[in-house]
């Protein structure tokens, strides 16, 4: 048959109408709606086989055990390892986002490696008899630290400096019935979260704090003293000065102090933290056995502190800040440098630390890119040996400070971690906890290679607990009473739990007001500045631009300062400050 | 030059003068478009809204504008369904106002949502329990109705009516206008109500939450009432303003007074209902949800004055002004009354949208402040400019006020010079 | 949304809600379709002219829509329900039965120097119709109409053979910016067109011969009140647009009104007078 | 508004949070962000324009020292069980309650971004994507494959780690019992160093959450609104339990601000 045009059109139209009465077009529209449901520019998460890897977090000395959920070889999620004898499955907020550490926007990406080496060589050559080559290690007690000490020992005038000298004394929270903390953030970033939380129910926490820190707010008892008057109170409690004197300085009532003293009498054993005036009850402080090292390492430079060096005597200064630890104020360091062009080289991941002052800043790999061991934390009664084995590969151009400094000092090193592991294995002490199976077995039942494997695949060697000791805990230099500086009205309190620059941490400081943001100063709302505004922070040591956070928990006359190097450089112990509109 | 487009027997200002009048509005409109484009392209981060202040100036604008635009449906209802023929002299103007208000509101809504491309999802996966669905459906339908009602007005243009097919179509369509009026009324009753329900159903916001009468919360009915009450007032107001601006007599004073009377009557009913509702809310609804009503007013600046202003100053007072024949027959009082009535409803919409969101619900909440960003404000002004433009053109080229010509013939004493108004 | 869509399920909510929605949509579309179909039919049935006039009539001011019997005082107030087409008007039929229009004695009305011969019928659009013995109807502008039209006179005359219908457009008048159509007084076929020199404009062979076809036209005694009212309207619209009103020149209406007061909006005035708002 | 396959026994997943154990460290917030691919803050973001499915609020008893006390209240979507405010208002069914789990789900890919649900939520637990999500270069390699990132202009919120639930569900199905409620742990629960958060099936009388929820010390936020949240808070401190009720009048607020 031959259809006329009209018939064809009719047929087409009819069928079109007919189709409208079938699900087809409607389903089609619904499905094509997807194009408006997905936008370009939204990153698609990588797919891949999912498996678990283990490591130890080396962001701080807590060295919590980490279970990493990986896609391919990318870690996408970190969590604690349940049943771990030390970290007990806990992971602090920073550890949770530890795998984002390599992505800090301000990360140091390249540095003048060649020039730095040459400059150091030159410095060594120029180094006079009364001058020193110094390695400043912000995280002592590591295997790398031993290498530094050996390297410095190999040099005739090498010195090894660390913020805290005594790494072998630890506290035993489980033994304490009362913990008296002078501004130490016991519950917030101090020690090992797992240990603290486990022991928390066992002790009564008395917090002496100038501001309502997170620890103060969770403490059983909180005494708000005047800033930097903690030591005065400690002295009074130790009976060195009268409660009346202390009352004036601290702003507490005499009765309160007396009551506190009595409380400590009955509440023993008492563990005192953050004070060099008051002593802890014997038994709450233990001396860890030293983690074994190969014999030949012993002939190395001792651990000394900065104060022991004469001023203007440091010709070459090598700073390892690859692992965040204590921070020494730059002004204190600068005093020690020789007058005529000293060589200062820092090994840093971020340009915000000593890189601001050093002649050469060399980029280093960070957790979880780099392999290194984590020294035991202050609250770990037993020595430990755990390796932060890398989860991702570092970007190119990163410098390994350990081998760099060794080479510079002409020291030839092998695989130091392995050597140390073997040394530990030789000692045949303690037990090894394996993360994968959650089993613990005596070290002596293990072959060296298995031990090494376990250490790298997620394991931890735990020594026998240390013995009680009368040794005192040292807490750096005792805080001086505040300067009386009339035009600097604010007393400074350093917030140790400041958030770092890890991108996602914006959740806890910018997208909520949970923590003090880096570069910010918290003030009482009565200070007259607007929340979130920019201001000038000024001390006798200089000034810096800061952001202002208003917090009714901060008493008037106090400035809580975030612990970023730039601000710490301005905040000497007991310093006063003023914050003015910029 | 555009004389051939202007209806015979009415005088409009010279084209140049007209251009001068619209130029600033066009500028404002374009600027607003730019701002809106920013919001569409860069996203709503251009606004000062945030997670807590999820709605802002725009929603306030939508609710207010739609309430004021209610004159269109209500006049249509009175004229075509209740046969109140006096109103035929303002119905065209009412339709244009309605069209402007509704199209403006919908345009702003499109900017206000985060994913305009998905606007049609509401039609595709409608959640029939959501007031917003009701609003979306009714608004879009009613806008269509208004558009159709606007067609005859356009086709009556002097030039267009010379095209036979258009002339005939207009004639036939006008015969069926009753149907449209009916549908429009039906739709309007629903969306005015559901706009009220929008906040009334929020049990999470005890400040706005109201108990239900049947299917809908009380605000549903209050909104219908208030909208119907101010609709005529707004027409009265606009007509009066056009008369002032153009220095012409466009409708007989009796018509304005009639509008006033209608407005006044409904307004008084509304005020009564609103007061009862408020009392119930203060004494039962709010306390039952654990919120003492007085607390809401302890957050400055939203003191209890706002309640007084809404119900008494901008409710009861204008209602009385419009109801008393003595006052009503004086233009000053009439217009003031209408103005206050409109203010009252605007205030009501403001309280329900902005104040609701500003008030904290959790004990550790903050009382929030919010100032619209320039992008928001510009978009807002663009809608105003758009309204003025559409109305200006309609007034110049279409017959918005059928009585104009005869009124002109009735006033021989008016001087030629005066007659040359702005349009 | 639709039974075929994902996630759709029959529950009362959906049924009621969507039912209402679709009902509205249907109503709207049906309304539009109806309007379109009706207008197509109207065009097909050549009712355009008629509809045009009805639209115009609807736009006239109420007091311009009054019944002819109000002019003669038989009614206080009455609006013409038939758009000035008395042929189908029952009321009119009854009235003229009760008292037929008596033939006036004088041959013509003379008002302000305008002559309105009574041997003819007048349309309210200011045209006259004179039945000729041969059954042909002569159509012309009445005196007032021609004064409004002024010198150029009628234009756009229909070609002989074309068909006119009552209240359709007969021809146009252009004068000083004024451009109005003049309503045709009768149905019929144009057989001749007169020029400016002739006193008539069209000769028309009527569709229906005899009086009934002319029933809607004014005659005899109706003329005077009607013209008086028309002059009143003229006065009004002139004064509205021009303010001044110099119609009468010593009691005699000037020849070319437009020329006499140029500032007036003649478009508006002619619109008024020739019933084209 | 229905789930694909309705299980034999419906679960009612819920949480109990011990406020006396919460030291406000924020680990839960971060774990949540990591698990659900919540992007870091845009540089212009504030605590009012941020994305925190789980937000830990710092609350105090409104007194000055020495009376002053502070506590931390983690607030996420409370998964209201009764007349769930957000579910009822969403115009296009982008929010729903899964009858199998009682979890209030959000479908970002269907969300229009009208933010009506945010106005409806008394707990401010819903968050709008004011900006396109952006991660520092290379960091998107570390996104969780179990969850799709959302685009700008849509609302999102806590869904009790739907990704994890889904994985657990699949595992259960593979193990041959697809219809029983599965046990899984949301990221915040797993992350909390002090173990303050517990998660489980409230319908199962044996579960920890069911027991703890029934204890005298436990309460819910704005209980009088009768939204029946499935997140229970616990505290022995009277003043902490008070924070669950309506806001203090502004006078008091002003006082403790100063």
Q: What CATH number has the domain bearing residue D18?
A: 3.30.70.20
A32 touches chain C (CB under 8 A): no
DSSP 3-state of A394: coil
How far is C-alpha A196 from the geometric centre of its chain's CA atoms?
Answer: 16
The three-point CA angle B7-B10-B13 to 5° equals: 100
Lowest mean pLDDT among C119-133, C177-191, C228-242, D115-129: C228-242
Does D8 fall in a domain? no
Extract the tokens encoding C6: 């994902």
Could you tell me what percentage of chain A is helix, strand and coil, using 3-state DSSP and rounding each to the nearest 5?
Answer: 30, 25, 45
pLDDT band at C83 (very low <50, low <70, confident <90, very high): confident
Cβ within 8 Å, pair A36-B124: no
Nearest CA in chain D to A188: D25
List pLDDT tens digits, range C249-258. Answer: 555 666 677 7
Distance of residue C149 Cα from the nearest chain A Cα, in angstroms:
54
Distance of residue D183 Cα from the nearest chain C Cα, in angstroms:
28
DSSP 3-state of C155: strand
Q: Which residues of D touch C7 (CB under 8 A)?
A: 1, 93
Cβ within 8 Å, pair A30-C2: no
Distance of residue A117 Cα from the nearest chain D Cα, in angstroms:
31
Closest CA to A409 of A579, A35, A159: A159
Query: Is residue D7's pLDDT more than 80?
Result: no
Q: Would you give the DSSP letter of residue A364?
A: B
C-alpha pair distances (Å), A84 with each of A70, A194, A461, A475:
20, 9, 11, 28
C42 touches chain B (CB under 8 A): yes
Between strands C121-123 and C127-131, the pairing is antiparallel
Chains with 3 or more CB pairs under 8 A to chain D: A, B, C
Does D224 fall in a domain? yes
- Taking residues A307-317, what's their average pLDDT? 89
pLDDT band at C105 (very low <50, low <70, confident <90, very high): confident
**What gap in Å lies between CA A464 and CA A454, rounded to an integer?**
19
Comparing A280 with A36, the larger pLDDT belongs to A280
Does D3 fall in a domain? no
Orientation angle between helical segments A113-126 and A401-408, nearest 10 degrees: 40
Closest CA to B232 of B339, B99, B140: B339
Express as a percent the part of chain A with pLDDT over 90: 28
| Neighbouring-strand partners of residue D199 | D15
pLDDT at A141: 86
Q: Which residues of D touch B206 (CB under 8 A)?
A: 225, 246
C-alpha pair distances (Å), B176 with each of B80, C28, C35, C76:
10, 10, 7, 33
Residue linked to tokens 């002409």 = A410
**What gap in Å lies between CA A421 and CA A450, rounded to an integer?**
11
Alpha carbons within 13 A on the beta-carbon side of B346: 15
Cβ within 8 Å, pair B167-C21: no
Query: Is residue A436's pLDDT more than 80?
Result: yes
C97 touches chain A (CB under 8 A): no
List pLDDT tens digits, range D15-69. Answer: 999 999 998 889 999 999 999 999 999 988 888 899 999 999 998 888 877 788 8
Residue linked to tokens 């053979």 = C161
B-proximal residues of A, 224-243, CB under 8 Å = none
Contact (CB, 8 A) for A297 and A322:
no
Cβ within 8 Å, pair A29-B124: yes
pLDDT at A484: 63
pLDDT band at D8 (very low <50, low <70, confident <90, very high): low
* Minimal Cβ distance to D26: which of A93, A102, A197: A93
Q: Which residues of B touch D93 (CB under 8 A)?
A: 125-127
**What gap in Å lies between CA A93 and CA A112, rounded to an integer?**
34
C5 touches chain A (CB under 8 A): yes
- Taking residues A480-508, what's their average pLDDT? 76
Comparing C178 with A246, the larger pLDDT belongs to A246
List pLDDT tens digits, range B302-335. Answer: 888 999 999 999 999 999 999 998 888 888 999 9
Task: Write out the E strands in A147-299.
Answer: 158-161, 169-171, 178-182, 204-209, 221-224, 270-273, 285-287
C10 touches chain A (CB under 8 A): no
pLDDT at A274: 84
Query: Is residue A76's pLDDT more than 50?
Result: yes
List pLDDT tens digits, range A447-486. Answer: 999 999 999 998 999 988 877 776 666 665 545 555 565 6
- Taking residues A335-342, what's their average pLDDT? 88
Contact (CB, 8 A) for A285 and A170:
yes
Residue of A36, A38, A511, A513 to mutate for B, most B C-beta atoms under 10 A: A36
**What gap in Å lies between CA A527 and CA C95, rounded to an integer?**
98
Nearest CA in chain A to C4: A23
Cβ within 8 Å, pair C43-B402: no
| Neighbouring-strand partners of residue D198 | D16
**What gap in Å lies between CA A521 and CA A399, rounded to an integer?**
34
pLDDT at C108: 78
* Minimal Cβ distance to C24: which of B148, B173, B187: B187
Go through the domains of chain B in sequence order and give each one's CATH number. 3-419 (1.20.1630.10)
Topology adopted by domain C108-273: OB fold (Dihydrolipoamide Acetyltransferase, E2P) (2.40.50)
B88 touches chain C (CB under 8 A): no
C15 touches chain B (CB under 8 A): no
pLDDT at C225: 86
pLDDT at A36: 62
Closest CA to A344 of A352, A353, A355, A335: A355
CB burial class (10 A; 0-12, 13-18, 19+) of residue C88? exposed
C6 touches chain A (CB under 8 A): yes
Cβ within 8 Å, pair B406-C61: yes
**What gap in Å lies between CA D62 and CA C255, rounded to an integer?**
97
**Helices and strands in chain D: count of H runs, count of E runs:** 8, 10
The range of the structural domain enclosing residue D244 comes to 13-257
Lowest mean pLDDT among A22-31, B30-39, C131-140: A22-31
The three-point CA angle A206-A380-A141 to 5° equals: 120
Contact (CB, 8 A) for B99 and B150:
yes
**What gap in Å lies between CA B327 and CA C217, rounded to an integer?**
50
Average pLDDT, whole number, for chain A?
87
> Residue D218 contacts by C-beta under 8 Å, 6 or more apart in sequence?
D16, D212, D232, D233, D234
Contact (CB, 8 A) for D81 and D10:
no
B-proximal residues of C, 60-99, CB under 8 Å = 61-63
Q: Which residues of C touch B415 (CB under 8 A)?
A: 243
Q: Would you give the DSSP letter of residue D156?
A: E
A30 touches chain C (CB under 8 A): yes
Cβ within 8 Å, pair D44-B121: no
Cβ within 8 Å, pair B112-D114: yes
| Neighbouring-strand partners of residue A550 | A523
C133 touches chain D (CB under 8 A): no
Distance of residue C17 Cα from the nearest chain B Cα, in angstroms:
7
Q: Which residues of A touch D154 (CB under 8 A)?
A: none
Contact (CB, 8 A) for C190 and C160:
yes
List pLDDT tens digits, range A509-524. Answer: 888 888 888 889 999 8
Closest CA to A305 of A164, A475, A415: A164
* Minimal Cβ distance to D33: which of A37, A39, A504: A504
Does D176 fall in a domain? yes
Lowest mean pLDDT among B205-209, C264-268, D70-74, D234-238: C264-268
**What gap in Å lies between CA C144 and CA C238, rounded to an integer?**
14
Does D43 fall in a domain? yes
Is the peptide bond prior to B301 cis by the omega test (within 30 degrees of 0)? Answer: yes
List pLDDT tens digits, range A365-378. Answer: 998 898 899 988 88
Task: Write out the E strands in B16-132.
Answer: none
Length of chain B: 423
* Minimal Cβ distance to D128: which of B114, B204, B295: B114
Question: ipTM of the assembly?
Answer: 0.86
D92 touches chain C (CB under 8 A): no
pLDDT at B27: 97
Chains with 3 or more CB pairs under 8 A to chain A: B, C, D
**What gap in Å lies between CA B226 and CA B223, rounded to an integer?**
5
- Taking residues A321-343, what's their average pLDDT? 87
Nearest CA in chain C to D1: C7
C-alpha pair distances (Å), B190 with each of A309, B134, B141, B187, B286:
85, 8, 11, 5, 26
Size of interface C-D (CB pairs under 8 A): 3
C-alpha pair distances (Å), C167 with each of A136, C83, C96, D8:
110, 9, 22, 82
**What gap in Å lies between CA B115 and CA C76, rounded to an integer?**
66
**What gap in Å lies between CA B26 and CA B161, rounded to an integer?**
28
Q: Which residues of C touch B408 (CB under 8 A)?
A: 240
pLDDT band at D3 (very low <50, low <70, confident <90, very high): very low
Query: Is residue A157's pLDDT more than 70?
Result: yes
pLDDT at D251: 45
**What gap in Å lies between CA A474 and CA A462, rounded to an integer?**
24
Go through the domains of chain A in sequence order and give each one's CATH number. 5-35 (no CATH), 50-103 (2.20.25.90), 113-166+289-364+399-414 (3.40.50.1220), 169-286 (3.40.228.10), 490-581 (2.40.40.20)
Residue linked to tokens 């609003």 = B135
pLDDT at A150: 92
Q: Which residues of B touch C268 (CB under 8 A)?
A: 8-9
Closest CA to A184 of A208, A218, A217: A208
pLDDT at B319: 93
pLDDT digit string (tens) for chain B, length 423 residues: 677 788 887 888 888 999 999 999 999 999 999 999 999 999 899 999 999 899 989 999 999 999 999 888 889 899 988 988 888 889 999 999 999 999 999 999 999 998 888 888 888 888 888 889 888 888 899 999 999 999 999 998 888 888 889 999 999 998 898 899 899 988 888 888 888 888 888 888 999 998 877 778 899 999 999 999 999 999 999 999 999 998 888 898 889 999 999 999 999 999 999 999 999 999 998 888 888 888 888 887 888 899 999 999 999 999 999 999 888 888 899 999 999 999 999 999 999 999 999 988 888 888 888 999 999 999 999 999 999 999 999 999 998 998 888 887 775 444 433 333 334
DSSP 3-state of D118: helix
Q: Considering its fold, how many domains does chain D have in total?
A: 1
Chains with 3 or more CB pairs under 8 A to chain B: A, C, D
């Amino acid at each position: 048959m031959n259809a006329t045009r009209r018939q064809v059109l009719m047929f087409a139209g009819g069928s079109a109408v007919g189709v409208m009465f079938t699900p087809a077009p409607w389903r089609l529209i619904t499905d094509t709606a997807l194009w408006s449901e997905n936008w370009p520019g939204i990153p698609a998460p990588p797919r891949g086989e999912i498996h678990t890897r283990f490591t130890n977090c080396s962001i701080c000395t807590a060295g919590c055990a980490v279970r990493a959920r990986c896609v391919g070889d990318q870690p996408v999620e970190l969590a604690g390892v349940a049943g771990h004898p030390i970290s007990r499955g806990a992971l602090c907020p920073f550890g949770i986002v530890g795998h984002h550490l390599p992505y800090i926007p301000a990360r140091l990406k390249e540095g003048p490696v060649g020039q730095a080496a040459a400059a150091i060589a030159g410095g060594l050559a120029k180094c006079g008899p009364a001058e020193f080559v110094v390695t400043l290690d912000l995280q002592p007690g590591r295997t790398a630290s031993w290498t530094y000490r050996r390297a410095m020992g190999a040099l005739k005038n090498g010195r090894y400096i660390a913020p805290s000298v005594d790494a072998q004394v630890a506290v035993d929270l489980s033994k304490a019935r009362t913990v008296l903390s002078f501004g130490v953030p016991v519950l917030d970033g101090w020690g090992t979260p797992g240990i603290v939380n486990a022991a928390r129910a066992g002790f009564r926490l008395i917090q002496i704090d100038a501001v309502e820190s997170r620890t103060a707010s969770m403490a059983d008892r909180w005494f708000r003293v005047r800033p930097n008057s903690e030591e005065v109170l400690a002295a009074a409690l130790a009976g060195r000065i009268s409660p009346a004197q202390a009352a004036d300085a601290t702003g507490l009532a005499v009765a309160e102090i007396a009551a506190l003293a009595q409380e400590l009498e009955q509440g023993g054993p008492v563990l005192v933290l953050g004070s060099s005036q008051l002593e802890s009850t014997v038994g709450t402080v233990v001396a860890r056995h030293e983690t074994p090292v190969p014999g030949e390492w012993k002939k190395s430079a001792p651990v000394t502190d900065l104060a022991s060096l004469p001023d203007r005597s440091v010709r070459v200064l090598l700073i390892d800040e690859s692992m965040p630890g204590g921070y020494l104020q730059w002004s204190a360091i600068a005093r020690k440098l020789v007058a005529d062009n000293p060589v200062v080289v820092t090994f840093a991941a971020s340009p915000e630390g000593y890189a601001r002052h050093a002649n050469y800043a060399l980029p280093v790999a960070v957790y979880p890119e780099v392999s290194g061991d984590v020294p035991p934390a202050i609250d770990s009664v037993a020595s430990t040996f755990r390796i932060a084995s890398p989860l991702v590969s570092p970007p190119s151009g990163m410098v390994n400070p350990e081998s760099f400094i060794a080479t510079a000092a002409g020291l030839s090193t092998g695989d130091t971690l392995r050597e140390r592991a073997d040394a530990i294995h030789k000692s045949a002490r303690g037990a090894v906890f394996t993360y994968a199976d959650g089993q613990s077995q005596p070290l002596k039942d293990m072959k060296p290679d298995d031990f090494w494997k376990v250490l790298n695949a997620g394991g931890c060697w735990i020594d026998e607990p240390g013995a009680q000791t009368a040794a005192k805990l040292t807490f750096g230099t005792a805080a001086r009473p505040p300067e009386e500086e009339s035009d600097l009205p604010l007393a400074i309190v350093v917030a140790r739990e400041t958030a770092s620059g890890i991108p996602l941490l914006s959740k806890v400081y910018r997208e909520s007001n949970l923590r003090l943001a880096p570069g910010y100063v918290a003030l009482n709302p009565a200070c007259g500045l607007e929340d979130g505004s920019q201001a000038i922070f000024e001390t006798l040591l200089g000034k810096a631009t800061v952001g202002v956070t208003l917090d009714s928990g901060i008493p008037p006359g106090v400035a809580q300062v975030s612990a970023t190097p730039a601000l710490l450089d301005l905040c000497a112990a007991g310093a006063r400050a003023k914050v003015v509109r910029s | 030059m555009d004389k051939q487009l202007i209806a015979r027997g009415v005088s409009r200002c010279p084209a140049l003068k007209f251009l001068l009048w619209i130029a600033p509005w066009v500028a404002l409109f374009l600027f607003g478009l730019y701002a809106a484009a920013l919001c569409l392209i860069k996203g709503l981060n251009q606004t000062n809204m945030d997670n807590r202040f999820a709605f802002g100036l725009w929603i306030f604008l939508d609710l207010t504008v739609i309430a004021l635009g209610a004159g269109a449906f209500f006049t249509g209802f009175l004229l075509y369904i209740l046969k109140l023929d006096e109103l035929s002299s303002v119905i065209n103007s009412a339709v244009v106002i309605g069209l402007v208000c509704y199209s403006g509101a919908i345009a702003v809504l499109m900017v206000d949502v985060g994913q305009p491309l998905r606007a049609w999802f509401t039609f595709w996966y409608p959640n029939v329990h959501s007031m917003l669905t009701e609003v979306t459906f009714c608004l879009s339908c009613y806008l269509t109705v208004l558009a159709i009602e606007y067609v005859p007005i356009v086709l009556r243009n002097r030039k267009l009516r010379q095209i036979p097919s258009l002339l005939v179509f207009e004639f036939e369509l006008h015969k069926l206008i009753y149907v449209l009026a009916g549908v429009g009324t039906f739709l309007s009753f629903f969306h005015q109500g559901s706009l009220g329900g929008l906040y009334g159903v929020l049990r999470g916001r005890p400040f706005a939450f109201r108990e239900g009468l049947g299917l809908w919360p009380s605000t549903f009915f209050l909104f219908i009432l208030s909208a119907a009450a101010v609709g005529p007032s707004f027409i009265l107001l606009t007509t009066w303003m056009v008369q002032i601006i153009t220095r012409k007599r466009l409708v007989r004073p009796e018509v304005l007074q009639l509008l006033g009377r209608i407005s006044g009557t409904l307004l008084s009913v509304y005020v009564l209902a609103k007061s009862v509702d408020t009392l119930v809310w203060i004494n039962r609804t709010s306390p039952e949800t654990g919120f003492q009503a007085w607390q809401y007013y302890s957050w400055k600046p939203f003191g209890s004055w706002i309640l007084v202003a809404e119900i008494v100053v901008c409710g009861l007072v204008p209602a009385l002004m419009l109801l008393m024949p003595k006052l009503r027959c004086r233009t000053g009082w009439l217009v003031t009354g209408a103005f206050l009535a409109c203010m009252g409803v605007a205030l009501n919409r403001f309280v329900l949208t902005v104040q609701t969101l500003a008030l904290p619900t959790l004990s550790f909440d903050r009382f929030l402040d919010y100032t619209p960003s320039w992008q928001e404000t510009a978009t807002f002004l663009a809608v105003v400019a758009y309204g003025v433009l559409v109305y200006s053109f309609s007034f110049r080229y279409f017959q918005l006020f059928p009585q104009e010509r005869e009124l002109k013939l009735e006033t021989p004493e008016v001087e030629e010079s005066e007659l040359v108004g702005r349009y | 949304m639709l039974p075929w869509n994902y996630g759709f399920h029959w529950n009362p909510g959906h049924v009621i809600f969507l039912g209402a929605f679709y009902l509205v949509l249907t109503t709207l579309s049906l309304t539009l379709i109806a309007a379109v179909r009706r207008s197509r039919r109207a065009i097909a049935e050549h009712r355009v002219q008629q509809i045009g006039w009805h639209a115009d009539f609807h736009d006239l001011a109420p007091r311009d829509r009054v019944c002819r019997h109000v002019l003669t005082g038989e009614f206080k107030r009455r609006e013409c329900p038939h758009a000035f087409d008395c042929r189908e008007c029952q009321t009119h039929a009854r009235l003229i039965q009760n008292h037929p229009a008596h033939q006036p004695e004088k041959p013509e009305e003379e008002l302000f120097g305008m002559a309105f011969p009574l041997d003819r019928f007048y349309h309210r659009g200011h045209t006259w119709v004179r039945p000729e013995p041969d059954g042909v109807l002569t159509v012309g502008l009445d005196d007032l109409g021609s004064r409004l039209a002024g010198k150029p006179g009628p234009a756009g005359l229909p070609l002989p053979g074309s068909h006119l219908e009552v209240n359709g457009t007969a021809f146009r008048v252009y004068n000083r910016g004024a451009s109005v159509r003049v309503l045709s007084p009768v149905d019929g076929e144009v057989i001749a067109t007169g020029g400016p020199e002739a006193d008539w404009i069209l000769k028309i062979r009527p569709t229906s011969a005899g009086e009934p076809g002319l029933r809607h036209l004014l005659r005899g005694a109706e003329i005077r009140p009607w013209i008086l009212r028309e002059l009143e309207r003229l006065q009004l619209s002139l004064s509205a647009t021009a303010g001044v009103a110099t119609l009468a020149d010593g009691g005699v209406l000037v020849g070319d009104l437009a020329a006499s007061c140029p500032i007036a909006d003649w478009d508006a005035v002619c619109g008024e007078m020739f019933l084209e708002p | 508004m229905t789930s694909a396959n309705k299980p034999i026994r419906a679960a009612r997943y819920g949480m109990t949070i011990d406020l006396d154990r919460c030291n406000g460290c924020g680990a839960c917030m971060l774990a949540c962000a990591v698990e659900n691919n919540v992007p870091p803050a845009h540089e212009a973001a504030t605590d009012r324009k941020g994305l925190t499915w789980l937000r830990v609020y710092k609350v105090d008893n409104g007194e000055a020292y020495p009376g002053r006390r502070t506590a931390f209240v983690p607030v996420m979507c409370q998964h209201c069980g009764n007349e769930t405010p957000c579910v009822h208002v969403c115009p296009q069914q982008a929010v729903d309650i899964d009858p199998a789990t009682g979890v209030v789900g959000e479908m970002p890919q269907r969300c229009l971004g009208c933010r009506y649900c945010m106005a409806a939520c008394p707990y401010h637990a819903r968050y709008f994507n004011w900006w396109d999500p952006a991660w520092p270069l290379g960091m998107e390699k570390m996104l969780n494959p179990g969850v799709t990132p959302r685009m700008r202009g849509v609302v999102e919120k806590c869904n009790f780690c739907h990704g994890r639930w889904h994985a657990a569900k699949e595992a259960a199905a593979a193990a041959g019992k697809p219809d029983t409620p599965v046990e899984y742990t949301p990221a915040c629960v797993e992350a909390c160093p002090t173990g303050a958060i517990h998660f489980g099936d409230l319908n199962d009388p044996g579960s920890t959450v069911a027991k703890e929820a029934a204890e005298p010390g436990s309460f819910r936020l704005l209980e009088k609104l009768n939204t029946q949240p499935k997140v229970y808070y616990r505290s022995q401190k009277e003043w902490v339990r008070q924070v669950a009720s309506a806001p203090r009048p502004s006078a008091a607020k002003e006082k403790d601000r100063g």
